[in-house]
Amino acid sequence: MPVIGVPTEELRRRVGDEVQGEKLLDVLGNLGCDVEGFATLRRPQCNRCGFIMELAGQEDVPPQCANCGTDLRDVDGAITELDPLEVVRMELLAVRPDMFDPAGLARAIRGVLDLDVGPVEYQVEGVAAKLRVDPSVRRPESLRPHIACAVIEGVNLDHDSIKSLMKLQENLHWALGRNRKHASIGVYDLDSWDGSLEFEYTTEPPDYAFVPLGAEAGETPWSLERILEEHPKGTAYRNLLDGFDRYPVLRTQGGQVLSMPPIINSEKTKVHLGTRRFFIDVTGSGARIVQRTLSILATSILEYHHGSKLRAVELIDATDPDDAGSTRTLTTPDLTPQEMEIDADRTARLLGVEMSASDLQHRMLQMRHGASLGKGSNVKVLVPAFRNDILHERDLMEDAAIAYGYANIVPTRVETVTTGKELPTTTAAGAVRDVLVGMGYLEILTLTLTSHELSDGLLGLGAHPQTVIVGNPISQEQTQLRTSLLSGLLHTFARNRHNALPQRIFEVGEVSFLAPESETGALETLHFAFGSIAPKVGFADVRAEAESLLRDLGIGLRLERADVPFLIPGRGAYLLTEDGRRLGVFGEVHPAVLERLGLQNPAVLLEALVPTKEVPGVYRSLA
């Protein structure tokens, strides 16, 4: 989860002086925010594009502006240090994008603190612009057939509000857009071109050119292809357009390019201190996510910029949200709340608290829903368009619980009596542990992921035919699940060469094999293994211990000579059950294996199945 810093001054302005310090951290925690604490950030600003960086502690200014790519270190006057900023740092709460910025967060805090309850009525005041959707954006492989737009008028910008808007955009890209894959946002200065309010969303071939954000016109035109290859945002996101021979372009009917979704906006249309009107677009793969993203962004901006006005955009020939194959005219944004119902009795029962219908109604209002009493215990709820996480009545019950306060719920216990029971394998493994601890062995735990080289390879064995193999390993040392516990013991000896001898260790744990007959194709078997390393230890020691251990587990000692590469020839044996199945193997470790690990003392090992009555297994590690 990305960590965000919400300016405390912004919050204070919006929620009041009393919600500060520990009290603020508490309120945020009770809303479900994962709060790290307060921090003060340094804020160098790029003089070229106005981008404000936020640096914690001793962090250095980055070599290049993350926004426009300007070299910041070698150019005098490339940055201006703004006043430092106190923030409260917390993990981005992905399910609540409406709380990503200080304005949205304050809206939620004022609700739970009963400072402001009920829905905020955001008005969409008439159509301000028109946009025509070209059929070419609906080609089958297109990731972005859907678009939603809005106009916001009457904003007053300063560095902080521009920064806040950029961060909100970035976080929405991450949380809702899945890094721009599902949805990407563009915000433009509506007064930066000839005043045209007619737009089109279309596609263009790679040689189509415009000057992208942070770039200069220069002699070589910025073709779409060049943007993808050279611009920092192009290289960062070009994978989203892989396989296309035409790229999405948003422009005015007069030909002024606004952006190349989902990559980059144009330099000319960028938002600056003097911007008074925004044009906003969201493009993406799904109608719902595109519309929801626009609603959240637009309402957060309205909340941030008091007195600003939201206006609609008419989308002609837009991709039908319910049928991506056909078109219709849409008007966005659509802030119609979602109508839902919640039952107070069911809510009270599920939460284990007393809650009447009117109590519940109030809890809903605290969470900024519209709420009115219905029949009996029913409450009718209007979920605002900026909530992205309400799929079911149950989600509203959680809202009710949050407004009620988790700390106010009295912990109880389910009174129904049931009988506890452990698994037979647990009992059997416990018996093995008891015996081995009694014999003076120290238990170890090792990682279940390994590689052939570190496990069977170390033992001089070929790859086990039933190896469970990872498709996307994170390192060359963890490419498979272990098929034996023996190498774990040996590696532990190797890592403990500096410690006193003798060393006597054991492990009880699962090994995994392919099992084509099983549902998921692989199954675990519970094994145990023990080993000793000491200047004087040999076959007779491990044989005596094997006999003693098996006797304790109620198994007689039956042996068969084992010629395996990791044991000294003539000094290895298989343990057999009465009916002749192999139960395990033990013996004196071959000096070649010891040498591979840099071990300078003899060692003995034993590995076997954890015997249970229910599972008459066979020791398969050496198959």
Partner 1 sequence: MSRTLTPEEAQVLQALDEGRRVTVADLANELGIDQAKISAAAIGLGGDELIRVEEEEYAEWVLKEEAAGALKSGTPERRILLALLDHNGSGSMAEVPGWAGLEPKVVGQSLRGLADRGWVEKKGKDLEVTDQGRAERDVKGPDEQLIELLDRLGGAALESSIVLTDGGEAGIAPDDLERAKALIGKKSPFVERKTRVHRWLSATDAGAKLRAKGVEATREVSQLTPELLSSGEWRNVKFKPYDINLDTEPFQVGKRHPLQRVIESTRQVFIEMGFEEAVSPYVESGFWDFDALFQPQDHPAREMQDTFYMESPSRTELPDAGLVDAVRATHETGGDTGSVGWRYKWDTEKARQTVLRTHTTATTIRELAKNPNGPRKIFSIGRVFRRETIDYKHLPIFFQVDGIIIDKTASFSSLLGTLAAFYERMGFEKFTFRPGFFPYTEPSVEVFIWHEEKQDWFEMGGSGIFRPEVTEPLGCTEPVLAWGLGLDRLAMLLHDRSDIRDLYISDLEWLRTEPRCR
Nearer to partner 1, 197 or 534 (CB): 534
Choice between 308 and 484, CB closer to partner 1: 484
Q: Which two tokens stand for residue 100?
A: 């990503």
**Residue type at 3?**
V
Secondary structure class of 355 (helix, strand, coil): coil
Q: Which of 94/559 has CB closer to partner 1?
A: 94
Cβ neighbour number for residue 179 with a 10 Å cutoff: 14
Cβ atoms of residues 397 and 347 within 8 Å? yes
How many other CB atoms are found less than 10 A from the CB of residue 311?
18
Greatest pairwise CA separation for the chain in angstroms: 95
Please tell me the distance from the alpha carbon of residue 476 to that of residue 1, in angstroms, as a whole number: 27
d(CA 357, CA 305): 35
H/E stretch holding 142: none
Using the minimum distance from each CB to partner 1, give the nearer residue, 373 or 522.
522
Q: Which letter, b or e, does each residue of 32-42 get, where b requires 16 or more Cβ atoms within 10 Å of its Cβ?
A: ebebeeebebb
- Shortest approach of partner 1 to residue 268 CB, angstroms? 35
Least distance CB 409 / partner 1 (angstroms): 5
- Report the half-sphere exposure of 297 (CA within 13 A, side-chain side): 35
Closest to partner 1 by CB, 91 vs 229, is 91
174/244 with CB nearer partner 1? 174
- CB of 297: closest distance to partner 1 in angstroms? 20
What number of other Cβ atoms are within 10 A of residue 612's Cβ?
A: 17
Q: How far is the CB of 445 from partner 1 (least distance, A)?
A: 5
| C-beta closer to partner 1: residue 123 or 426 | 426
Nearest distance in Å: CB 144, partner 1: 15
Least distance (Å) between residue 223 CB and partner 1: 32
- Closest contact distance (angstroms) between CB of 426 and partner 1 is 6
Q: Tokens 């808007």 — which residue? A: 165
Whether 191 and 277 have beta carbons less than 8 Å apart is answered as: yes
Pick the closer one to partner 1 by CB: 81 or 434. Answer: 434
C-alpha distance from residue 284 to each of 148, 183, 311, 564, 618 (Å): 9, 4, 21, 60, 55
Q: Minimum distance between the CB of residue 520 and partner 1, rounded to whole angstroms? A: 4
Nearest to partner 1 of 99, 129 (CB atom): 99
List the one residue out of 85, 104, 122 whose CA is nearest residue 31: 104
d(CA 250, CA 148): 12
d(CA 123, CA 20): 31
Give the Cβ contact number of residue 226 at 10 Å.
17
To partner 1, the closest distance from the beta carbon of 506 in angstroms equals 8
Task: Decide if 5 contacts 33 (C-beta within 8 A).
Answer: no
Among residues 88, 101, 109, which one has the least CA distance to residue 32? 109
Whole-number minimum distance, CB 36 to partner 1, in Å?
A: 12
Q: Which is nearer to partner 1, 93 or 298 (CB)?
A: 93
* Cβ contacts of 224 within 8 Å, gap of 6 or more: 204, 205, 206, 207, 208, 209, 247, 249, 260
- Count of CB atoms within 10 A of residue 68's CB? 20
